[in-house]
Structure 1
Amino acid sequence: MGEITSYKLEDCFHLRARIGWQGLRFEEFIDEGPYLVTGTDFVNGKVYWDTCYHVTEERYRQDTGIQLREHDLLITKDGTIGKTAVVFDCPDKATLNSGVFVVRATTSNVLPHYLYYVLNSQQFSWFMRNILTGSTIKHLNQEHFYNFTFDAPDTVNQRKIVDVLVAVDDVIDKTRAMIEKRINLKNGLMNDLLTGKVRLNGFTGEWKTGKLGDIGSVCMCKRIFKNQTLLRGEVPFYKIGTFGDVADAYISMDLFEQYRKKFSYPKQGDILISAAGTIGRVVVYNGEIAYYQDSNIVWLDNSETKVLNQYLFQYLAIAKWAVPEGSTIPRLYNSNIRATEITYPVDLKEQQSIVDVLTAADERLTSEREQLKKLEDIKRGLMNDLLTNRVSTDKLQGGL
């Protein structure tokens, strides 16, 4: 790969941001005019122009140093610190809001796009962790940032590294686009099939609209108190913050067996529902040994004589929960759940056929998401190898 040189950021790049007295008030954000870019407009390493606010010509002209150009490198210095984006398809007029640096080369020694990948590497994560540790104000200080050091080969090899990583990013972007397409397809299928707007071939029977309370009673586990939980144990205890994820608390097997036998406990196939936080999230209980936080995680004791649990699982993704309009408390009470409407075909075979179609769509979506994760893992490995000079781009020829 040739000679490797160590650089300090200030030796080859200049930082510019909107200074304090130029700060914009929210009422200055308008619907037309020059684009205003903030860190929230960064999506997968690019600026998503459709979400940008706009400002007046006067505000745009106020600082020529933050007027954006094609291929500018941006990084957030406040809020979610360290988010990066490269400017592509730059409009004629665009400027920065507070909280974002534009990083521009002052020499030809380091390609801005190479630096973009460095700023997304583990090395920069460690740098950020070191400068923010112990600080009460989370902010990427210009002085600190200028002191960031990194290694780089000559620009010919930098370009080769960038080309490899851009090629991987292109595949990742296409996979994300496919996932978005499949999500839209699944949403369309749910709205058509779960409402009876579209019927599957061979089915002409009756559909009904009822209440979830007509299907079964709302149940929950017995309350677990904090002094009954363990940091490590035999039985995972899921709270609303870990529902559908990894438990961070446990209970003993003795307590689990005692409560499971004496009080309400889900049966295999029941649909667990989040009643707090992000309300209406659903998880299928598959019979695993686990316990769930009372009132925050509930289920319907469904005999499946009217509605299959698998159909219920799909339907709850589009359900309009019967919560009071204007309510600011994200909470589903048992009465809200019981009063929520559900539409379903009376024929259980039709329900199962609908489930089969939607499950197939879910499986394709899961496959795409798994592929995306693999690609992201490959990219992380490549970045680690290429940016630390452990692997030469020459060894990757024909391997992508």
Structure 2
Amino acid sequence: MELKNGYQKTEIGVIPEEWKVIPLNLLTSTVASGQSKHSKPYGTFPIHGSTGIIGYTEWPEYQGDAILVARVGANAGKLNVVCGEYGVTDNTIIVRVNSGISLPFIWRSLEAKKLNSLVFGSGQPLITGSQLKALLFALPSSNEQQAITAALSDTDALLEGISKLITKKRDIKQATMQQLLTGKSRLPGFSGDLIERKLGDIAIIKDGTHQTPKYVSSGVPFFSVEHVTSGNFVNTKFISEAEHRFLTRSFKIEKGDILMTRIGSIGVCKLVDWDFDASFYVSLALLKIKQSCSPAYIAHYSKSTAFINEVELNSLPSAIPKKINLGAISNIKVKLPTTLAEQTAIAQVLSDMDNEIDALEKRLEKTRMLKQGMMQELLTGRIRLV
């Protein structure tokens, strides 16, 4: 492919012709493991390890701006930027850049390298200073380094803003649940005390097959605990149509039902709000809510502290893994308004909040993906800011 005018082909790809390819060891004055030994749970100066701040000290061994790279363990390759005075343990590598080199630019370049892909060792994942020193970087002028890092910092600020908004919306929803699901606050037009009912009074409760089915490469989805806890009903195992018909000869999952985990992770509920054919394992319970109650309300109520406490209270205390039997599920108490109209209205308010949070989470993920693409374009000079 013909090179674009003003660009050069290098060992790390095509970059602007005035940019240089330089290994990290020529851009830095230090690439070495920390040597801090002692830490306390309190103190003036932080001590950094592979998981972040792990303690404090009154006698910091290091000072000044630096990039920290987790060297060993599950976080190997994770980056952090520090300044001031601090300690660093030997499971973390300190990277100090030379005068005239932008530390934020090197940090961004290291971030783009996806250092966790360089980690080796199955027992204790590891990345070494020698690996880091050998990494090659495309280096623009100082002005362009600063422009690139400023653009990426603006994107990070946007990501942080969205994350904070999601946290705020979740807090608001939690507070709203506490008010509406306990009757402390009522929606306009509704009044009266909430009533207490057992799940067995408002739902028909069944469990799935007790026998492991014969799986096939494609066919009818087969659900178990992990599908409810993850909310992912796409990546499933499959059973044959014939076995599905046999397993569902007495009852089947229908839109408006609730799937509830009852072995391992217990009490997690998912409202079936879409049409599909599927079978499920004994680790799940199927709640068929009676017409006098709103399935959506019960699904939202299942996330309340009161419901979670009821699940724990009715579970088998010594079972490993955790387990709650069908009879015990029937004894779980729930509070609900006396009218279906108010139950439906509350469920709608909480669902609208969930939809708003979901939209923000999708926006956050999209912005993260845009940032990754932006980093690739800026750090290779495909897009120029100077």
Which residue in the other structure is 1:4 paired with? 19
Which deviations, in whole Å up to 9, do the C-alpha atoms of 1:317-356 show, x marking residues without a partner? Answer: 1122432598685624124433332111111111111112
Q: Identify the match of residue 120 of structure 1 among 83, 106, 111.
A: 111
Which residue in the other structure is 2:358 paired with? 366
1:169, 1:99 → 2: CA distance? 27
Q: Identify the match of residue 71 of structure 2 among 61, 65, 77.
A: 77
Q: Relative to structure 1, is the Cα distance of residues 327 and 161 closer, same or farther in structure 2, using a 3 angstrom cutoff?
A: farther
2:78, 2:318 → 1: CA distance? 34
Q: Relative to structure 1, is the Cα distance of residues 254 and 136 closer, same or farther in structure 2, using a 3 angstrom cutoff?
A: same
**Structure in which a larger fraction of residues adopt strand:** 2
Which deviations, in whole Å up to 9, do the C-alpha atoms of 1:96-116 show, x marking residues without a partner? Answer: 3453223211342x3221122
Q: Relative to structure 1, is the Cα distance of residues 111 and 93 closer, same or farther in structure 2, using a 3 angstrom cutoff?
A: closer
Which residue in the other structure is 2:48 paired with? 37
Q: Identify the match of residue 168 of structure 2 among 176, 181, 193.
A: 181
Is 1:285 aligned with 2:280?
Answer: no
Which deviations, in whole Å up to 9, do the C-alpha atoms of 1:1-32 show, x marking residues without a partner? Answer: 5512112122222224334xx545xxx54244
Which residue in the other structure is 1:18 paired with? 34
Tell whether the 8 Å contact from 1:237 to 1:290 is kept in structure 2 after alignment. no
2:185, 2:321 → 1: CA distance? 33
1:38, 1:252 → 2: CA distance? 51
1:299, 1:225 → 2: CA distance? 18
Which residue in the other structure is 2:237 paired with? 249
- TM superposition shift of 1:310: 0.5
Unaligned segments of structure 1, at least 5 residues: 42-51, 395-400
Taking every aligned residue pair, what percent have the same amino acid on both sides? 22
- TM superposition shift of 1:135: 5.2
- TM superposition shift of 1:182: 0.2
Tell whether the 8 Å contact from 2:207 to 2:281 is kept in structure 1 after alignment. yes
Q: Identify the match of residue 316 of structure 1 among 281, 284, 302.
A: 302
Aligned residues: 360
1:98, 1:217 → 2: CA distance? 58
Q: How does 1:126-141 map to 2 (within 5 A)?
A: 128-129=116-117, 132=120, 136-141=123-128
**Superposition RMSD on alpha carbons, in Å?**
2.7
TM-score normalised over the length of structure 2: 0.83
Q: Relative to structure 1, is the Cα distance of residues 195 and 250 closer, same or farther in structure 2, using a 3 angstrom cutoff?
A: same
Q: How does 1:259-278 map to 2 (within 5 A)?
A: 259-260=247-248, 262-278=249-265
Which residue in the other structure is 1:160 paired with? 147
Unaligned segments of structure 2, at least 5 residues: 1-15
SS in 2 for 1:55: strand
Letter in 1 for 2:19: I
2:57, 2:172 → 1: CA distance? 39
- TM superposition shift of 1:242: 3.7
Tell whether the 8 Å contact from 2:34 to 2:94 is kept in structure 1 after alignment. no
Tell whether the 8 Å contact from 1:385 to 1:391 is kept in structure 2 after alignment. yes
SS in 2 for 1:370: helix
1:56, 1:151 → 2: CA distance? 38
- TM superposition shift of 1:221: 2.2
Tell whether the 8 Å contact from 2:68 to 2:92 is kept in structure 1 after alignment. yes
Q: How does 1:55-134 map to 2 (within 5 A)?
A: 55-57=56-58, 60-61=59-60, 64=61, 67=62, 69=64, 71-78=65-72, 79-87=74-82, 93-108=85-100, 110-121=101-112, 124-125=113-114, 128-129=116-117, 132=120
- TM superposition shift of 1:370: 1.7
Is 1:240 aligned with 2:251?
Answer: no
Tell whether the 8 Å contact from 1:221 to 1:264 is kept in structure 2 after alignment. no
1:82, 1:156 → 2: CA distance? 28
Which residue in the other structure is 1:45 paired with? none
2:177, 2:202 → 1: CA distance? 20
2:236, 2:345 → 1: CA distance? 38
Tell whether the 8 Å contact from 1:6 to 1:151 is kept in structure 2 after alignment. yes
Tell whether the 8 Å contact from 2:254 to 2:276 is kept in structure 1 after alignment. no
Which residue in the other structure is 1:338 paired with? 330
Is 1:347 aligned with 2:339?
Answer: yes
1:327, 1:388 → 2: CA distance? 58
Which residue in the other structure is 1:356 paired with? 348
Which deviations, in whole Å up to 9, do the C-alpha atoms of 1:348-386 show, x marking residues without a partner? Answer: 111111112112211211221121122112111111111
1:219, 1:142 → 2: CA distance? 57
2:205, 2:89 → 1: CA distance? 49
Tell whether the 8 Å contact from 2:159 to 2:368 is kept in structure 1 after alignment. yes
SS in 1 for 2:226: coil
